[in-house]
Structure 1
Amino acid sequence: MRHNSAQAPTVVDRVLNVLGAFSTDRPALSLSELSRRAGLALSTTHRIVGELARRGALERQDDGLYRVGLWLWEVASLSARGMGLRESAMPFLEDLYEATHENVQLAVLDVPDVVYVERISGRHAVSVVSRAGGRLAAHATGVGLVLLANAPVDVQEEYLGRPLKRYTPRTICSSEQLRHALADVRRDGFVISDRQVEMVSMSVAAPVYGSEDDVVAAISIVVPAEGFDPRTLVPAVRAAARGISRNLGAPRAVRQPAS
């Protein structure tokens, strides 16, 4: 995230600005591009990039461009919200994928977005824009609606006051519409998100509970918008979410009988 304080950026701010210059559409950058995108002098960028490359946080390609290095992936793998959750979820995500051979996703909330912790996709599954480690606006995704619906009230109200990005003509773009959608999720315990991100796909999502019986993640299956009755997928998605919740020690998952 770009430093925007009135105070002069610290050394840590400068380093994070350099790392934050990389994006999904620009995974490889030259030194001058890093300088411009990080808002730093070229000499400062050169010094920081050199240090990061020596530590393995950045890697220099043969063409002179820099990419994020494996060392950062090693550090990121220690995140409790990421890899620990992923390990608990993988058996159930794999089972759900094997039953459908469609896109299966696991995500957490990082307002205003969801971050995808894992995605399993087959060669013939419908194309999706999400990726492991990627972000999408929470209101436009099935997993995001589930996570927002179970977020603290102050988080919901803050989100409802935001402009809502439109991806397709079917994207929820009004606070009133979003408020109703979140209430429906809390009532039903799942959501069907129909062509909100792309017109070719829809998703079925359900919440994953942690050891305090709070919603810590959401899973979804993404299928073609045509040729599927999404309601037939609801039991499987909810059962997988309940299995992950049980793995995470959620009391409600232990109490609920399998359906």
Structure 2
Amino acid sequence: MRITRVLGGALLALGLAAGPAVADSPSPSASGDGSDGKAPTQAGTSFRTATEIEQGEQATASGSTGDYLYWSFPADTGQRPTVRATVKLPDTHGAQTWRLDVYDGLRRRQSCQYGADSRTTARGASSVELACVLRTVRGWSEPWANDPLPGTYYVRLTVADLGSADLGLPVSAEVRVDSKDIGGAAAVDGSLGKPLVPGIAVKSAAEKDGSKTAVLSSFGSDDGWSSGWWSDRWVWTAIGAALAALAGIGGYTLTRGSGRPSRVPPNA
């Protein structure tokens, strides 16, 4: 049983050591609820001019029906982003269909795991609410796949169907992005060389030759992304291996007996 005590102590030490490592994984998720008064109050009109928002901020913008409103936000490995948008409509209007689309850093449209990303409002409705829960962001993917990868994501909000009389009416929108940390359950064996942040590859090349090149997004510093080989899946794998070893030792101890025969034969 001495071996059992040694393995138990090692398992406890492994758990204590792994706790801070998991907690210290950097993430570009944002600061609180955006109550510092610095949340954006306008939206971009294209991918290139998308307004940057952080997770946890509630951005607002004013526009007109028929406009395309764009925001961008960062999402890292293991996060499952949820994008919510509320559009406040004018007092008088006809039936309208609003749509919320999310694109990754390569401008590939990402499908919603669940949520109402398109809704039709009744005549005279005061507002419409949209939501899109994306798939969990992966650290690596096949080139042909459309899996969400770490980097910049774009939100596009627009009206998809309306009567000609409602075109150009003033509206206001609220957008918020939150994420649930899925952790090692979504970990894969691989990582990107760089997150999908527009301009980051150009910036890296420019830093080597000393030139100055504009970067389309400011998300993600050199140490601001947690993509890599480490995840808490390694911790659970080590714990499972240690428990399997303990079970093997316990089973062997129970089945081998005392090591002496139950009956001593008489002396010949």
Q: Sort the TM-score into its range (normalised by shorter chain).
A: under 0.3
Q: Larger relative contact order (C-alpha < 8 A, sep ≥ 6)?
A: 2
Higher strand share: 2
TM-score, length of structure 2 as denominator length: 0.22
TM-score, length of structure 1 as denominator length: 0.22
In our comparison, the structure showing a higher alpha carbon Rg is 2
